[in-house]
Amino acid sequence: MTTQGLATDAGLASELRLAVMRLRRRLAGERHPDNELSINQMGVLGVLARRGEMTVGELAAAEKVQPPSMTRTVNCLVETGDVLKRPHESDGRQIVVEISEQGQARVAADRVRRDAWLARRLDELAPEDREVLRRAAALLESLAQKD
């Protein structure tokens, strides 16, 4: 039974991996032409909008990337004027990143629109399929957080 279970899971892992890879590729390509921010940058902006100001390290941990990657992303957002960097008040090593008014406006304006493609596809699904995906989203997120 263990063998069967593992064999089945190996197949599931394979399918899940392929599906995730392809869907991500699809989503990354679905950026709106009039939005100059990449899908990753919008992700960071969304985290900041939800959780308030965060240090670069916290952002890196939240997005599961290494600090240098987040430094680069944050710098791009600073250049577009969507976030602000300021020194930490008590720890001179840390940098606090804060979403700007423009950034908040962009998040608000894009919140619905940026998920338009996926939301439209989801709307075409049967309700029970949406329920499956709703539960799966939480599971996928927890998988991404592991180890």
Choices 85-93, 98-106, 118-126, 138-146 (CB under 7 A): range interacting with DNA: 85-93
User: How many alpha carbons fall within 13 Å on the CB side of residue 69?
Assistant: 12
CB 97 within 8 A of CB 88: no
Which tokens sit at 66? 């290494």
Indicate whether 46 belongs to the interface with DNA (CB under 7 A): no
Indicate whether 93 belongs to the interface with a copy of itself (CB under 8 A): no
What does 118 interact with, of a copy of itself, DNA, none (CB < 5 to 8 A by kind)? a copy of itself
Indicate whether 5 belongs to the interface with a copy of itself (CB under 8 A): yes
Of 65, 78, 95, 96, the residue at the interface with a copy of itself (CB under 8 A) is 65
* Non-local CB neighbours of 67 within 8 Å, separated by 6+ positions: 56, 57, 60
Tell the residue number behind the tokens 């989503």, with chain if given: 27
Q: Between 86 and 130, whose beta carbon lies closer to DNA? A: 86
* Non-local CB neighbours of 51 within 8 Å, separated by 6+ positions: 62
Indicate whether 74 belongs to the interface with DNA (CB under 7 A): yes
Q: Between 55 and 104, whose beta carbon lies closer to DNA? A: 55
What does 109 interact with, of DNA, a copy of itself, none (CB < 5 to 8 A by kind)? none
Q: At its nearest, how many Å lie between DNA and the CB of residue 4?
A: 32
Distances (CA, A) of 93 to 48, 55, 56, 87: 20, 10, 11, 8
Of 5, 33, 52, 92, the residue at the interface with DNA (CB under 7 A) is 92
